[in-house]
Chains A and B, each alone.
Chain A
Amino acid sequence: MTKPTDRHSFILLCLQSPQDAALQSRLQSWLDADEEHRELYRQLKLLWEQAPYAALFEDADAIAATARFLALLDQTPAVTPVLPLRRPRRRLMTAAAAVLFIAAGAAWWQYTRNSIQWLGKTTSSQPDSLLLADGSKIYLNKYSQVRYPAAFKGKERQVELTAGEAFFDIATDPVYPFTVTSGPAQIHVLGTSFNVKAGAEKIQVYVLSGRIALAMEHRPQRLHLQAGQSASCNTTTGELQAVAADINQLAWRTHELQFVDTSLQDVCNALSACYGVSMVLDPKISRKRKLNANFSNKTLEEVLQTLTALYDYQFQQLNDTIYVHLPVK
């Protein structure tokens, strides 16, 4: 019991076994021996007893909470005291106040613009999700990247999908419109959930619930989409087009695949999008053969086994590539 490490573990043992009478009496005589012992015991006992309450701080995220509080504040009109001005100087004062007001406004605008702390999240071979300060959720597919502010400031909430694909579930807040940008495409939201897939030539948007307005940078055209609708933006021409919604658009997140009279070509495209694999088809195989099947929460392996049984083709996986060929006779 001389080295401090032993002291610590001895005290720990005593704290953990209050019923052990023999141990407690050993502790008592050790405490009676020296003031220093008593001091150490008091300190460790204090930490030991207070520690369980530290758990209450586990999810006290002050920064996110402050952002939520500021959002509330902005909906609360503050009663600002009006100071009476003396008559003769009133005009001058008003002019001065206006100048000041404009200067302060400009400074504030500059400040908020420059003071936003942007964070990024990038996924590699695993999808991931993140929670924004306003309670909105973003689910990132593999190999995707978003940039988002640490806290939403000013009058709008803005995030950017810089690569890949993400599903957005946006918290409703009519006071603060939410904008997702992806390259030249801008998606204006009031509170809804939708999927964005950013490719090099086109950006695909699919709305699951609510409504969004889609626009391209520097262009007046706006496309309104409702739940279940889909659109595609051409990144080179800036063209916006409503397209037929693909029921399997969210499969990468939900792992629900539905095929209704779907051609083999489209089945392969859906698999490739959902599981992030490339498909290589034997040229001798017809791309047109139709499939009817539903897969719910199945692994890629299970899906391929079923497909091998349904089509009389072999679906073989090698790393991230699926080879489809005629069975070897």
Chain B
Amino acid sequence: MISGLYSEEVMQGLQARDRAVFARVYEHFYPVLFATARKYLGEREQAEEVVQDVFLRLWEKDFTLEHAAALKSYLFRAVINQCINHLQRNRMLEGHHAEIQHLQEESYLCTFIEEQELRERIHHAVERLPEQCRRIFKLSRYGGLKNNEIAQQLELSVKTVENQMTIALRQLKAALLDHAEKPISAVTRLKLLLWLASV
């Protein structure tokens, strides 16, 4: 996380409608916000539109935040509200709806944001895995294939697939939980541990 994004200058830049500041903030938050919108709306175009709308409204109206650090939760909340509007308009699945409505409560939102950030870090770590290892891991976890199905599709032995999956998991753990490149802040680490303990 770029700590520099939660500063007074960034806040003032947003309020003064500084294009460069908007670009920086947008680029930084786009992946997590896009992934959030995508989780509920499914379609890429819709998800991107939601993120664009949220930032365009920031640009168009005068907004104030109590403090700079509230920026992240403000953006998430705005994206989630937009998704709810979308779902209401299209009268999509009730279940989905309840799940997202749930997120408007503060305590859930915090956990959700942390989950999203962890997912983003997992995504980056997966992208850094060696090629074959990455393909196998994605087929398993993104595609939901079983080891023998992956072995068949890639013409490998099941043993190889198992080994590569182990390597992937070990590397992800090393990258994210042991000595993360972006060191997790002490608070996040504590929360993560508390949350891990509750899993």
Question: Residues on A close to B: CB < 8 A?
Answer: 4-5, 8-9, 11-13, 16, 42-48, 50-60, 62-63, 65-66, 68-70, 72-73, 76, 78-80
- Of B4-12, B87-95, B98-106, B120-128, the one contacting chain A is B120-128
CB distance from B76 to the nearest CB of A (A): 14
A5 to B165 alpha-carbon distance, docked (Å): 11
For chain B, residues 25 to 47, give those with C-beta under 8 angstroms from any C-beta of chain A: 26-28, 30-31, 34-35, 38-39, 44
Contact of B119 among A9, A11, A53 (CB under 8 A): A53
Q: State whether the Cβ of B110 lies closer than 8 Å to any Cβ in chain A.
A: no
**Which residues of chain A are near B166, meaning CB under 8 Å?**
5, 8-9, 12
Contact string against A for B residues 57-97, beta-carbon threshold 8 Å, 1 for contact and 0 otherwise: 00110000000000000000000000000000000000000
Contact of B27 among A52, A58, A63 (CB under 8 A): A63
A54 to B123 alpha-carbon distance, docked (Å): 5
B39, A56: Cβ atoms under 8 Å?
Answer: yes
Taking A53-B39, A73-B19 as contacts, is the C-beta distance between A12 and B30 under 8 angstroms? no
Question: Which residue from chain A places its CB closest to the CB of B120 in the assembled complex?
Answer: A57
B169, A12: Cβ atoms under 8 Å?
Answer: yes
Question: Which residue from chain A places its CB closest to the CB of B53 in the assembled complex?
Answer: A72
A51 to B162 alpha-carbon distance, docked (Å): 17
A48 to B173 alpha-carbon distance, docked (Å): 10
CB distance from B198 to the nearest CB of A (A): 10
A80, B23: Cβ atoms under 8 Å?
Answer: no
Contact of A5 among B28, B51, B115, B170 (CB under 8 A): B170
B196, A44: Cβ atoms under 8 Å?
Answer: no
**Which residues of chain B are near A50, meaning CB under 8 Å?**
115, 118-119, 122
For chain B, the bracket of interface size reads 35 or more
Question: Which residue from chain A places its CB closest to the CB of B33 in the assembled complex?
Answer: A60
**Which residues of chain A are near B137, meaning CB under 8 Å?**
51
A2 to B44 alpha-carbon distance, docked (Å): 46
A116 to B196 alpha-carbon distance, docked (Å): 44
B23, A66: Cβ atoms under 8 Å?
Answer: yes
A59 to B120 alpha-carbon distance, docked (Å): 12
Contact of B176 among A47, A55, A68, A79 (CB under 8 A): A47
Contact of A8 among B31, B55, B170, B177 (CB under 8 A): B170
For chain B, residues 147 to 173, give those with C-beta under 8 angstroms from any C-beta of chain A: 147, 162-163, 165-166, 169-170, 172-173
B199, A46: Cβ atoms under 8 Å?
Answer: yes
Contact of B30 among A13, A42, A65 (CB under 8 A): A65
Taking A65-B30, A66-B27 as contacts, is the C-beta distance between A78 and B17 under 8 angstroms? yes
B48, A65: Cβ atoms under 8 Å?
Answer: yes
Q: Would you mind naming 30 contact pairs between A and B with Cβ atoms under 8 Å apart?
A: A5-B170, A16-B146, A42-B199, A45-B199, A47-B176, A47-B177, A48-B141, A51-B141, A51-B172, A53-B35, A56-B34, A56-B35, A57-B120, A58-B123, A60-B34, A62-B27, A62-B30, A63-B27, A65-B27, A65-B30, A68-B52, A69-B22, A69-B26, A69-B51, A69-B52, A69-B55, A70-B23, A72-B56, A73-B19, A78-B59
Question: Which residue from chain A places its CB closest to the CB of B178 in the assembled complex?
Answer: A43
Question: Which residue from chain A places its CB closest to the CB of B118 in the assembled complex?
Answer: A50
B119, A56: Cβ atoms under 8 Å?
Answer: yes
**Which residues of chain B are near A73, meaning CB under 8 Å?**
19, 22, 56, 59
B177, A43: Cβ atoms under 8 Å?
Answer: yes
CB distance from B20 to the nearest CB of A (A): 9
CB distance from B10 to the nearest CB of A (A): 15
A72 to B59 alpha-carbon distance, docked (Å): 11
Question: Which residue from chain B places its CB closest to the CB of A45 in the assembled complex?
Answer: B199
Q: State whether the Cβ of B138 lies closer than 8 Å to any Cβ in chain A.
A: yes
Q: State whether the Cβ of B197 lies closer than 8 Å to any Cβ in chain A.
A: yes
B142, A55: Cβ atoms under 8 Å?
Answer: yes
Question: Which residue from chain A places its CB closest to the CB of B28 in the assembled complex?
Answer: A62
Contact of A44 among B22, B39, B173 (CB under 8 A): B173
Question: Which residue from chain A places its CB closest to the CB of B48 in the assembled complex?
Answer: A65
Q: State whether the Cβ of B144 lies closer than 8 Å to any Cβ in chain A.
A: yes
A54 to B137 alpha-carbon distance, docked (Å): 12
A63 to B30 alpha-carbon distance, docked (Å): 9
A65, B34: Cβ atoms under 8 Å?
Answer: yes
CB distance from A57 to the nearest CB of B (A): 4
